[in-house]
Structure formats: structure tokens, C-alpha cells
Amino acid sequence: MTTVQTIWTLLQNGPIMGDGAMGTMLQEAGLTDGGAPELWNVEHPEKVRAIYQAYVDSGSQIISTNTFGGTSARLKFHNIGDRVYELNKAGAALACAVAHPAGVLVAGSMGPSGDLIEPVGPLSMADATAMFAEQARGLIDGGVDLILIETMSHMNEVEAAVAGVRRISTEMPIAATMSFDTNYHTMMGVSPKQALETLSGWGVKIVGANCGNGPAEILAVMTQMAQHRTPGVYLMAQSNAGLPQYMEGEIRYDGTPAVMAEYATQMRNLGIDVIGACCGSTPLHLTAMHKALAQIKEQPIAGPPAVEEDAGLIESADSRANRAAARRRERRERTPRPM
């Protein structure tokens, strides 16, 4: 059975469970601020392997590799920009060694490069594509079952990442999620509906949202995606475990396992196909989510409300454009004219 058949067969029998945070778990294992998580794939493989195993044991059916910052642009800040292939392949191979014997799939994680891409920044699309291709080669050679492009805010960067993957493999399944943490839009102004339509138009068949400001935000985001998706497109949600709070001298997220179990139930009832978690989540959260989904496995899935019943939380593109035009007019009117 090929990789493509495996992932698509799994999705046909969904909803399926993703995993939780990698960074949170690495910090608990001793990663300090400023350290390179990807370097642990070769320097502390036993600790990375233990995190992978904990998510498999919690019920995850797809786990993500410890390669979120694995582009040369991100690794160069740690003076290891020349080790892209090595570190990505190592992270993927570790995950596969844990996941595949248990029948769990591995998603090769690719996060933002940290560089702005033209026309909003100096990095060319050609160079960005080559950078993501370099990372994708390591992940694919390490044995991943799909690529997960995640936490993106600008469509150009997603486009470059997709093109980079396709340069290495035309058949590798791709999932892409964006972070809609700015008034239900990405930092660069992309709406959930726009992301869904654009990404699926590029042939990305698993689209969704991750990170952000917690379950309440992602509920609105995924509702809009569920309302507008077309046949053959699968949806993926990976919410943060609430919001970070300063508690007892350290930063903790306020989303308890019970909160995340309720979030998983909401996602399932919307018809979301892949349900996982992001920052602040742990195997305890995923275990609670897994149990909640198991308890309602036989119940019918309601699906999203009709579009006309939308509560209007997410501003339309036309409304945003009109507000921007109004602000420009106001600024012009306030600016003194030369005599």
C-alpha cells in the first residue's frame, strides 16, 4: 500500500487524532530559551523519541516531527544553517521508528522561515522555494507519510513551501495550516475562507488552522472553513491549549485537559477530519481529547451551521477593504494641504 493510499484511507475513516505541542514538551525535557530544538534530533534523540512515544500512547494517529524550525533561515540563527538535511532526516527517522510499528503516521513539520518573502520582504520566491525544498528532501528521505506546513500567515510563504515540497515529490500528501490570531485573520490579513479556497486551488487537500488564541477562536475559524469547503478537501484543526498565563513563577497555558476535550468534541461535531492541539498541550490533553472522541464515536456529526446563520464574527474581505479605504480618506482629510 502506498503512502497516498494510507493517509487517504485513514481520513476516510475519520475523524482522526493529531498530536500536541512539541516545543512545550521539549522545554519540560530541558530545552532552554534560545536553544535549537532540531539539534536535539541528534544530540538528545532519546528525549525526542520519548515525546513521540508519549503522543502515540495518548491516542494520536498522526504525530509531527521535531523540525518546525528546520529551514536554513531558522537554523542559521544557531549557526547550524548547513545542517538542514541532516537534522530534518534525523527528526523524521526518529518519529517513524516510533510511529510506524504502532500504525501511526508521521507528518513532516515545516514552519515559517522567519524571512519575509517578496513583495513584502527581501527573500525571492525562487530562494524561498529552494529553502523549503531542502528541508522537504530531508523529511521525505527520513520516511514521513505527509508534509505539514504549519503556523503560516502569508500566502506567498505557503505557496513557496508547497512548491518546495513538489520539487522533491509530486505525490507526497501535503497539509497546510495557518494561524488566524488577528481578529480571525492571519497577521497578514488572510481570512479562513480565503486560505481554504486558495490552498485547495493549489491542490492542497488537507487545510486548516493551528496555534492562535485558543479553542474559542479556532471554533469560529473552522466553522467558516467547514461552511465553504468543497468535496475532496479535508479540514485540520490544532488549537493552542488556551492562552499563556503567568502562574506560580512560570508561564502556563490555561486550557486544561477538560477544556481541550470539549474543543475536540466541537471540532468533531463540525465535521473536522484531523483534530489535534498546539502550544501548551501535552499528552495529558491529547488523552482527554481521545477519550472524549471515543465516547461520541457512534453519534451523528451535525456539521457546520448554514452560511446564512453565520454569527458574523469574521469580517468579510469587502468590509475590510472598505474600512481600509475609509481610513485612507480620513488621513488625507486630516493632512494639511500646501498653500
Domain residue extents for the chain = 3-305
**CATH, range 3-305:** 3.20.20.330
User: In this predicted structure, which of 19-28, 110-119, 317-326 has the lowest mean pLDDT?
Assistant: 317-326
pLDDT of residue 9: 92
Give percent above pLDDT 70 in the chain. Answer: 92
pLDDT of residue 14: 81
pLDDT of residue 110: 98
**φ and ψ of 158, to 5 deg:** -65, -45
Residue 2, pLDDT above cutoff 50: no
From 49, 50, 62, select the one nearest 95 (Cα to Cα).
Answer: 49
Instruction: Kindly indicate the confidence band of residue 245, based on its pLDDT and cuts at 50, 70 and 90.
Output: confident
pTM of the model: 0.92
pLDDT in tens, 183-223: 999 999 999 999 999 999 999 999 999 999 999 999 999 99
**Mean pLDDT along residues 230-242:** 97
pLDDT of residue 330: 72
Give CA–CA dist 179/327, Å, rounded.
26
**Mean pLDDT along residues 168-191:** 97
- Local structure of 335: helix, strand or coil: coil
- Say if CB 180 and CB 216 are below 8 A apart: no
- 13 compared with 327, residue with greater pLDDT: 13
Containing H/E element for 132? helix 125-141
pLDDT of residue 215: 97
pLDDT in tens, 45-104: 999 999 999 999 999 999 999 999 999 999 999 999 999 999 999 999 999 999 999 999
User: In this predicted structure, which of 32-41, 146-155, 238-247, 305-314 has the lowest mean pLDDT?
Assistant: 305-314
* Grid cell locating 166: 513538489
Instruction: Kindly indicate the confidence band of residue 34, based on its pLDDT and cuts at 50, 70 and 90.
Output: confident
154: Cβ–Cβ under 8 A, 6 or more apart, which residues? 116, 117, 120, 186, 187, 188, 190
Residue 134, pLDDT above cutoff 80: yes
Give CA–CA dist 54/98, Å, rounded.
10
The chain-wide mean pLDDT, for the chain, equals: 92
- Local structure of 151: helix, strand or coil: strand
Give CA–CA dist 200/6, Å, rounded.
20
pLDDT of residue 3: 47
Give Cα separations from 306 to 196, 226, 265, 310 (angstroms): 17, 10, 19, 7
Instruction: Kindly indicate the confidence band of residue 248, based on its pLDDT and cuts at 50, 70 and 90.
Output: confident
pLDDT in tens, 7-16: 999 999 889 9
